[in-house]
């Protein structure tokens, strides 16, 4: 049985592939992109190797980035701590004990300047996993680039900026859905004019998968959210071909390799049809589902953690066979703590082995025509479309979220998997089979708790040194824009330029827009 619940046959043959297969699949780089969004795929160059990293202070994370770049990483991916993700400063009593723990603490332009010290922002692509305050961190990045005389037109990267999945599966939301969608649309419009090569959103299924979504649920709920973002941008007056080419996606890669490959192929086909047929996009770049992949953190185990090296290699292989545009491979020790430098380097080396020691980059779409993968692709496509229809029966993805539909579906799947592991029906090596009587000791990376006091001291110094009147004027302008219809990113940028903090900027928007409180229907 597949992860999504459909049966896997012992034998597949031509009878499982109705119709003319060749015409149905199309060519690589051509609609409906089943075989990949680019004609040459990895035969021209490998995927972007983008290792997710960030912890403690900006200076510590900067050192890790330099290590990764020296080891051969081709793109950076920033992990922010929970206070930053929730729009709080490090000295806010609300976040005591969380500063720098699961990512880097960024409170102001001073921290962002340290984070990217010595890194050529016109030559390095940067992804930032940040959602509710995504526009704030993007503007800080742009301001730091401008200080190095790097114009917005030269910047290349992605902000996740996917707030809908936060309501479904992750929880780092700030504002209610309606103003949150307005902020997303404002970011689309701002970047089209000011940072044209930036990917303005990474519509994420990864976190839903980590919460327990099956492959079908992952892409159904993600693509339904994508439809919602497109509708929000159109309602804000943007033309579809002005923003759709900069949309990107973010998926998980599990150890169930065949289903994962089929999932990626089905997702491309569905999105191409939605953009071309439903939304009438004319630019072929608007039809392309371009995506980043991360190997499945939820499948890593603290027991016998070295076995995770094997899991990650298989998961990375599935992502590559599925045609990902960039990839993060998890470190083997992430079920225990933040990865050590050695573990992070081994994770990168896993990608490099796939790219340079195998023949994966010698041909496009190696599984094309495989009876099992083509049949599974068709099945996943059909089941995904049916589940999307159930979402849209509520009226929209937002209305389904408010009714708790996606969350209930994911929790049901997660419970089923937990039962299968507990009963032994689902084998997890080292957990319920092939266990050790005594685990070998492992020394994890630990974040110094003194970071919180150091960040608070930096904030105190910043507030004493800056022009407080200028900050308050800029924040007042931001509140006015938020209450009206002006694009909020322009006054937001001026507040940050004046050394307003992440918490102050997000706080100004909280005052106008309020905060989201989940209903008890979940």
> Average pLDDT of 477-482?
98
How much is the pLDDT for 358?
Answer: 96
SS3 assignment for 94-144: HHCCCCCCCCECCCCHHHHHHHCCCCCCCCCEEEEECCCCHHHHHHHHHHH
263-269 average pLDDT score = 98
Q: Which domains does the chain have, with CATH numbers?
A: 19-362 (3.20.20.240), 451-513 (no CATH)
Taking the model in full, what pTM does it have?
0.93
- pLDDT (mean) for 496-505: 98
- Assess whether pLDDT exceeds 90 at residue 261: yes
Could you tell me the two tokens for 60? 């510590």
Per-residue pLDDT at 520: 58
Tokens of 299: 């499948």
Q: If you average pLDDT over each of 17-26, 47-56, 405-414, which comes out highest?
A: 405-414
Q: What pLDDT was estimated at residue 11?
A: 87
Give the separation between CA 500 and CA 470, rounded to whole angstroms: 9
Least confident of 24-38, 92-106, 439-453: 439-453
pLDDT surpassing 60 at residue 241:
yes
Residue tagged 């022009």 (tokens): 467
User: Which residue pairs from 305-312 have beta carbons closer than 8 angstroms and sit at least 24 positions apart in sequence?
Assistant: 305/332, 305/333, 305/335, 305/336, 305/442, 306/332, 307/332, 307/429, 307/430, 308/332, 308/333, 308/334, 308/335, 309/346, 309/350, 311/255, 312/347, 312/350
E-state strands within 254-305 = 291-295
State the average pLDDT over residues 30-45: 95
- CB of 494 closer than 8 Å to CB of 477: yes
Q: What are phi and psi of 314, to 5 degrees?
A: -65, -45
pLDDT of residue 320: 98
Question: Quick check: 375 pLDDT over 50?
Answer: yes
Look at residue 83 and tell me whether its pLDDT is greater than 70.
yes
Q: What percent of the chain lies above the pLDDT cut of 70? A: 99
Cα–Cα dist 52/497, whole Å: 27
- Please choose, from the candidates 94, 58, 133, 202, the residue with its C-alpha nearest in 3D space to the C-alpha of residue 492: 133
Q: What is the pLDDT, as a whole number, of residue 470? A: 97
Q: Does residue 16 have a pLDDT over 90?
A: no
pLDDT at 521 exceeding the cut of 90: no
Q: What percent of the chain has pLDDT over 90?
A: 90
Measure Cα distances from 180 to 32, 224, 246, 463, 489 in Å.
31, 17, 19, 28, 13
Question: Which band of pLDDT confidence, cut at 50, 70 and 90, is reported for residue 95?
Answer: very high
Residue 145, both tokens? 């680039």
End-to-end CA distance of the chain: 28
Question: Can you give the three-state secondary structure of 332-379, one letter per residue?
Answer: CCCCCCCCCHHHHHHHHHHHHHHHHCCCHHHCCCCCCCCHHHHHHHHH
Q: How far apart, in whole angstroms, are the C-alpha atoms of residue 280 and residue 441?
A: 58
Q: Which residues contact 242 (CB under 8 A, 6 or more apart)?
A: 192
pLDDT of residue 270: 98
Q: Based on C-alpha coordinates, what's the Rg of the chain?
A: 23
Give the pLDDT of residue 200: 94
Please give the Cα distance from 281 to 404 (Å, whole number).
31
pLDDT at 406 over 90: yes
* Cβ atoms within 10 Å, residue 479: 16
Q: pLDDT band at 21, cuts 50/70/90?
A: confident
Determine the Cα–Cα distance for residues 407 and 94; give it in Å rounded to an integer: 26
Q: Any idea which residue has 């299924």 for tokens?
A: 205
Query: What is the 8-class DSSP label of residue 429?
Result: B
Q: Residue 247: which H helix or E strand, with range?
A: strand 247-253
How buried is residue 425: exposed, middle or buried, by Cβ count under 10 Å (0-12/13-18/19+)? exposed
Confidence of residue 35 (pLDDT cuts 50, 70, 90): very high
pLDDT for 448 beyond 90: no
pLDDT surpasses 70 at 522: no
What mean pLDDT is reported for the chain? Answer: 95
Question: pLDDT class for 19, splitting at 50, 70, 90?
Answer: confident
């Amino acid at each position: 049985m597949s992860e999504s619940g459909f049966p896997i046959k012992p034998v597949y043959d031509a009878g499982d592939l109705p119709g003319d297969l060749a015409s149905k699949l199309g060519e690589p780089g051509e609609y409906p992109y089943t075989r990949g969004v680019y004609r040459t795929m990895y035969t021209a160059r490998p995927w972007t190797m983008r290792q997710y990293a960030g912890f403690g202070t900006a200076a510590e994370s900067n050192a890790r980035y330099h290590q990764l770049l020296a080891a051969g990483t081709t793109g950076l991916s920033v992990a922010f701590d929970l206070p930053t993700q929730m729009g709080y400063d490090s000295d806010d009593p609300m976040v005591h004990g969380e500063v720098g723990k699961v990512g880097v603490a960024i409170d102001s332009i001073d921290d962002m300047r340290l984070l990217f010290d010595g890194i050529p922002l016109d030559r390095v692509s940067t992804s930032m996993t940040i959602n509710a305050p995504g526009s704030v961190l993007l503007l800080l990045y742009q301001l730091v680039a401008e200080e190095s005389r790097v114009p917005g037109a030269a910047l290349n990267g992605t902000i996740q900026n996917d707030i809908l999945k936060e309501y479904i599966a992750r929880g780092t939301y700030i504002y209610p859905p309606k103003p949150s969608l307005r902020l997303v649309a404002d970011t689309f419009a701002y970047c089209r004019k000011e940072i044209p090569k930036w990917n303005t959103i990474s519509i994420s299924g990864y976190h839903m998968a980590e919460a327990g979504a099956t492959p079908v649920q992952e892409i159904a709920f993600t693509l339904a959210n994508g439809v919602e973002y497109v509708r929000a941008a159109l309602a804000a007056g943007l033309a579809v071909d002005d923003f759709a080419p900069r949309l990107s996606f973010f998926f998980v890669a599990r150890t169930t390799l065949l289903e994962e490959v089929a999932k990626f192929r089905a997702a491309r086909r569905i999105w191409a049809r939605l953009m071309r047929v439903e939304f009438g996009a004319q630019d072929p770049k608007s039809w392309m589902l371009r995506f980043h992949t991360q190997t499945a953190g939820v499948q890593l185990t603290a027991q016998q953690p070295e076995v995770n090296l094997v899991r990650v290699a298989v998961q990375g292989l599935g992502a590559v066979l599925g045609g990902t545009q960039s990839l993060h491979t998890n470190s083997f020790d992430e079920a225990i703590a933040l990865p050590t430098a050695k573990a992070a380097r081994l994770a990168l080396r896993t990608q490099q082995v796939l790219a340079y020691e195998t023949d994966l980059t010698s041909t496009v779409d190696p599984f094309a025509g495989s009876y099992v993968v083509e049949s599974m692709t068709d099945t996943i496509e059909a089941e995904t479309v049916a589940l999307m229809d159930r979402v849209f029966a509520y009226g929209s993805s937002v209305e389904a979220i408010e009714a708790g539909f996606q969350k209930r579906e994911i929790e049901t799947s997660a419970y089923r998997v937990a039962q299968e592991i507990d009963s032994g029906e689902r084998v997890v090596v080292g957990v319920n089979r092939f266990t050790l009587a005594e685990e070998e000791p492992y020394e994890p990376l630990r974040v110094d708790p003194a970071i919180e006091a150091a960040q608070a001291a930096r904030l105190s110094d910043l507030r004493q040194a800056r022009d407080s009147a200028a900050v308050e004027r800029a924040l007042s302008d931001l509140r006015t824009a938020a209450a009206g219809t002006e694009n909020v990113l322009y006054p937001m940028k001026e507040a940050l330029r004046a050394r307003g903090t992440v918490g102050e900027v997000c706080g100004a928007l909280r005052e106008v827009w309020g905060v989201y409180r989940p209903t008890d229907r979940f």
